[in-house]
Each structure stands twice: as structure tokens, then as C-alpha cells.
Amino acid sequence: MKNNVYLVFSEKPERVSREEYHEWYVKHAQENIESPTFVSAQRYSVQANLAGKAVGNEQHLSLYEYEGDMSTWRTDLNQRIAEGDIHLPDWFKEIKFMSWQCSPEGGLLTPKTRP
């Protein structure tokens, strides 16, 4: 089965330090992938560039790899949050999120053998 990807871009609240945000998000990503059908998670620091110059605030990208239907892990996550198994900090609602659900199209491309 080909894995799907769920991309989550986020911008931390101004009142939260980079270190505090990173520490929380590492734990949160691990909590997330304990839900069924998740395969892995990887976090990235993202800085937009225009003509070689940094623009805008630093963003954060979490790349979640999962199998099957998104509703499986989404339902489990919502239930775990409602039951208090996943703790969200008081500043959670201040995080600016944008996400994409991605399904593979075609096969994986790799470099051709070079002479």
C-alpha cells in the first residue's frame, strides 16, 4: 500500500519561545503518530525566501505519513483529545495552522543510473 502524506504548516504564537514551541511539538507529533495507521512523522523549520532573502516569520512543517483513510486516525485523535489523553497547551488556539492531505499519484521517481 502506498502511504499518504499529511502536511501541517504552523506559525507559533508570538508569546511562545521557539524552544518551548519545539519541545511541545516534538511531544505532540509523537502523541499524534500513536493513533492507528500513522507510519511516521518528521518536523522541519521553514523560512520563505524571495530573491535569496528571508521573508516573513519562521514557519514549522510537520510531515505525517499514514496508510489508508485519514478518518481512522482523525477519529482516534479527536477521541484522545476529548478524553484528556493528549494535552494541548493554553496557547494552542493561537497557533496559525494550514494543512494539506496528499495522496500519491504515479510511482516514486528516483535518479536514473549515471554513467
Q: What's the average model confidence in pLDDT over 22-36?
A: 95
Domain 4-102 matching CATH 3.30.70.100: the answer reads yes
What are the pLDDT digits (tens) for 65-74? 999 999 999 9
Predicted local confidence at residue 48, as pLDDT: 86
DSSP state of 62: E
Question: Which three cell numbers, joined as nine digits, stand for 77?
Answer: 485523535
Q: Of 4, 1, 2, whose CA–CA distance to 73 is shortest?
A: 4
Cα 78 to Cα 5, 22, 36, 52, 88, distances in angstroms: 19, 22, 12, 41, 12
Q: What's the average model confidence in pLDDT over 69-87?
A: 94
Q: What's the average model confidence in pLDDT over 34-43?
A: 95
Predicted local confidence at residue 22, as pLDDT: 93
Question: Which three cell numbers, joined as nine digits, stand for 37?
Answer: 495507521
Residue 1 has pLDDT above 60, yes or no: no
pTM of the complete model = 0.85
CB 102 within 8 A of CB 6: yes
Predicted local confidence at residue 111, as pLDDT: 87
pLDDT-based confidence at residue 113 (cuts at 50, 70, 90): confident
Q: Show me where the domains of the chain are located.
A: 4-102
3-class DSSP state of 18? helix
Integer Cα distance of 101 and 23 in angstroms = 25
Helix%, strand%, coil% for the chain, nearest 5 = 30, 35, 35
3-class DSSP state of 49? strand
Residue 25 has pLDDT above 90, yes or no: yes
Q: What's the average model confidence in pLDDT over 1-18?
A: 91
Q: Of 70, 77, 103, whose CA–CA distance to 2 is shortest?
A: 103
